[in-house]
Amino acid sequence: MQALTNRAKAVDRRPMSFAEKMYLPAIFKGMAITFKHIFQKKSTISYPEQKRPFSPVFRGLQILNRDEEGRERCTACGLCAVACPAEAITMEAAERKPGEEHLYREEKYAAKYEINMLRCIFCGFCEEACPKDAVYLSETFAPSNFQRKGFIYGKDDLLIPHPKDNQTK
């Protein structure tokens, strides 16, 4: 029977010489590799002092965006939750009340918006599915935590601060 690939190699079954029994060639080969690596550029980065350059297509922590007037862009359409293959996003919609026009852009808004970062696979489908550009993946990491409930981010954690509130402070 013929093999499917040509990767098979014949096994050398001749007896080992005295030098091979002492493993000297293997030791010298390993030492040569180690000596060669001494003169190469180090790949280690001293993290706090140096920051690693990221790819321009890096996808990090999810953020909920606001418009130019500081109103929330999310209309709780649910397309991000439907597009999420890991089912990490949950949301509840609510109707805007009279007098809340300065808070929400549309008549419907997300009263509850949660993302479970332990389930999120940072695929970016939520960002692509959002018709209002309310969701985007930033260039920051999800911070570490010691408890599982710390990885469930609510709307207040994900929403960008209000630009008009920051100017007064």
Which residues make up each annotated binding site for [4Fe-4S] cluster?
Answer: 74, 77, 80, 84, 120, 123, 126, 130
- Please report the sign of the dihedral spanned by the C-alpha atoms of residue 44, residue 47, residue 50, residue 55: positive
* Per-residue three-class SS string for 104-136: ECCCEEEEEEEEECCCCCCCCHHHHHCCCCCEE
* 90 SS3 class: strand
Q: How far is the C-alpha of 73 from the C-alpha of 117, rounded, in Å?
A: 21
Could you tell me if 113 and 99 are in contact, meaning their C-beta atoms sit under 8 angstroms apart?
A: no
Six-digit token pair at 40? 């190469």
* Residues in binding site: 74, 77, 80, 84, 120, 123, 126, 130
Q: How far is the C-alpha of 23 from the C-alpha of 15, rounded, in Å?
A: 14
Six-digit token pair at 127? 């960002």
Burial 139-148 (b: 16+ CB within 10 A, else e): eeeeeeeeee
